Amino acid sequence: MQPAHSASTIASTAAPTAADAESETIEQALSRLQATRDGLSGGEARRRLERFGPNALPKPHVSALIRLLRYFWGPIPWMIEVAALLSALVGHWPDFGIIVALLMFNAAVGFWQEYKASSALDALNKQLALRCRALRDGAWGELDPEQLVPGDVVRVRLGDIVPADLKLLDGDFLSVDQSALTGESLPVDRRPGNVVYSGSIVRQGEMLGLVHATGPHTYLGRTAALVAKAGAVSHFQKAVLSIGDYLIYVSLALVAVLVLVELQRGLPWLELLQFALILTVASIPVAMPAVLSVTMALGALALSKDKAIVARLESIEEMAAVDVLCSDKTGTLTRNRLSLGDPLLLGAGDAATLNLHAALASRAGDGDAIDEAIHAAQAQPPARWNLRHFLPFDPVSKRSEGDWTDDQGADWRFSKGAPQVMLDLCAVDTDIRARAQEWIDRQAERGLRTLGVASRRGEQAWSLDGLLSLFDPPREDSARTIADARAHGIGVKMVTGDNLAIAREIAGQLGIGRDIVPADAVFGAGAAQAAALSQRVVSADGFAQVFPEHKYGIVKALQDAGHRVAMTGDGVNDAPALKQADVGIAVSGATDAARAAAALILTAPGLSTIVKAVEEARRIFERMNSYAVYRITETIRIMIFVVLAMLVYNFYPITAVMIILLAFFNDVPIMTIAYDRTAVDPAPVRWDMRRVLTVSTVMGLTGTVGSFLMLYLALDWLHLPIPKVQTYIFLKMAVAGHLTLFVSRTRGAYWRKPYPAPLMVWSALLTKVAATLLCAWGFGLVAPIGWKDIALVWGYSIVWSLLTDLAKRAVYRHLAHAAPRHRRFVELLKRPLAPGHRYH
């Protein structure tokens, strides 16, 4: 019966201190919270939710206006603002207006990019939301943890993240990892009457708990002991920093040379400083981190449509580089739809008795595939048995156990688990062990899993009732997907806790290979030295009889051998391996703890989802890579040309207003790069800064030569006045800049597939048309030129883009030929030297 009390009457006592909550009894907690062991009604829960608020820590709210104003504060906005002020001081009011417009435009673009990335991440976070099991209106159901209120009764079990501060009510025990909150390095045992804190991870056991504190009133909320996830700088962040540093150093060095030389020549210092500031702002890739982050965020949103949710954006770059995938067997390579086969009867009189004992060691409704298969084989539930206690399956002990009383009052215990574990539990003699092992091997040759069932009455010894066979057939798409993964340069290794023979049979059927080794043979007592261990792990097709700690060792050995590793997992004990892997993948149905540790969370079963995620990650990587090449090319093309032209010809080849307008025209197409079409690289891809900088430098220098030739034609061949020469150069840079974007987005000829996205084409076309009309009519900003001149510039720019593309392809070919020699040289340097040997 639900107590008829309003939430307001318990407001003053709803959140005791941690010490008070631990010291009070269960009945005192129920009384204080005016709750019962039967949970709350839906209506009462809604009233309490209004009173106490959602079960979530308050998030700092920053208004949209404040976020927008941030784009006017910082080193780059200050440089633009100083340039605007200098324009006003020297009376260049058109320059002042355009510079202010640039400042507003940059702020608007930055704000919009931030909004898009934030919206994409919010959509991902909604899909990542955890669930909890609560007792409402007398029935168990799943809830969003934010809906929990003080007085709710919840069930927590192996792998769950505790959703609120709980007073434990019923159950045997919990082993809880609360190191992130209290600093305790080892899991702690908790029993009825103890308190467990929100954010802790259940390592073992299952219990019911009473919610006694939520949101900011929890131990986590009060202490603000949030775990900072800022670890080492990712490969993506290192690449962005490297590119940014390179461009900043080049820009500042060239501007410094320009300022020193032109001051000696007598140029007005205010005008020169204004020009130098604008040139520096246009050259430094201010928006690059934002553009790349938005590209990843929108790519992650696209991945979620393929049932793969990205938990950390930086993991997309790691995913594109993965070359080894360690995959679970059950549910990933197989269907995880078990059915019972013919059993081996030992102590049980018949198959029905054996199945009954297995059912009494199981619990329906927990979503465990084995338990569901065993209960499905029962004609009717065991009516004459009364459950006293149930110990769910534990991945360490590898068995489950039920404690029952029969209709005559006799105590019975039933257990089921891995055959080797059950044989040891029952201490069977060598004859029965040999008979059982022979039967297990025969089943394994057919790809069947096996399960031992045992029982004991009272204090008698355990008796082995028999062995069950379970068939979990491979998924229809697994073999094809594994072949597809290999075509993408990804090696697949099976990692399973199953019997060695079963693993070899399934791996052989799927084309993985039959060199499956037992994990103990690699990581057991007498394990090889690190180098030999890595080689053994790399050469194996997979591993059987794997415990969770073995998974971590497998990942580490592969990484030590230079591989980027993806590891699948679903259990709480898989979390260390998922964190260690370059890409930890929580498979469909994984525990909360595994999902929290993973970089990629699958919401659909099967390996094909992972391969799709890798393909999309490589597309995203190519977009980021092409943008990096383009941005470096543009900086070199504009910066070196302008500085050298001023040093050689002693006049501004392009005005400050034109530089600002170029920034306008170039930024619009750049914003569409997140939607570009790209080819999928057939091999894993990684940031190669040598390649990026080499390609972009050659393209930038080619563009610089093209601009100098155009300057020569305008001055010495067409004999144009300087204002029209500046318009020529401006139009050439505007048209060639967009063509450079198309050149940089592919390693082959830029007019071939994959064609750019329509949005990118139209944005580039419209901005080119705008630049052309500006040059034709002037609008008081540039000196107008005729349509024949415009046609000449367009034709020249198109021809020069073909030459730039030719140079780009030549560099890529050279780098492709040089790469194997470079790798061999690096491998040679890594080899240990023989005694007395030296390199010459």
Q: How many Å apart are CA 728 and CA 712, to the nearest integer?
A: 11
Write out the H or E segment, with its range, that includes residue 743.
helix 722-744
8 A C-beta contact, residue 740 and residue 675? no
- 8 A C-beta contact, residue 606 and residue 669: no
519 vs 515: CA distance, rounded Å: 12
Report the alpha-carbon distance of residue 400 to residue 454 in Å, rounded.
11
Distance CA(244)–CA(242), nearest Å, equals 6
* Type of residue at 357: H
Q: Give the tokens for residue 382.
A: 């065991």
The one catalytic residue among 152, 306, 328, 472: 328
Task: Give the DSSP letter string of 288-299.
Answer: HHHHHHHHHHHH
Residue 251 CA neighbour count, 13 Å, CB half: 24
Taking a C-beta distance cutoff of 8 angstroms, is the pair 157, 208 a contact? no
E-only strand ranges, 599-693: 600-602
Reduced to 3 states (helix: H, G, I; strand: E, B; else coil), residue 686 is coil
Residue 469 contacts residue 450 (beta carbons within 8 Å): yes
Q: Are 154 and 166 in contact (CB under 8 A)?
A: yes
Q: Phi and psi for 668 in degrees, rounded to 5?
A: -65, -55
Between CA 90 and CA 86 the distance in angstroms is 6
Identify the CA nearest to 511 among candidates 497, 498, 496, 492.
492
**Degrees, nearest 5: CA angle 139-144-148:** 70
Tokens standing for residue 680: 């999928």
- Maximum separation of any 2 CA atoms in the chain, in Å: 114
Phi-psi region of 336 (alpha: psi -120 to 50; beta: other; left: phi over 0): left
Query: From the CA atom positions of the chain, what is the Rg in Å?
Result: 34
Please give the C-alpha separations between residue 315 and each of 115, 289, 304, 489, in angstroms, as whole numbers.
Answer: 21, 16, 14, 18
Per-residue DSSP letter, 294? H
Rounded to 5°, the CA angle 606-612-615 comes to: 150
Residue 775 contacts residue 731 (beta carbons within 8 Å) = yes
Tokens coding 290? 């934002």
Between CA 258 and CA 640 the distance in angstroms is 10
Q: How far apart are CA 714 and CA 724, in angstroms?
A: 8
424 part of the active site: no
Taking Cα atoms as reference points, which of 332, 336, 335, 402 lies closest to residue 367? 336
Q: Report, as residue numbers or ranges, the catalytic residues.
A: 328
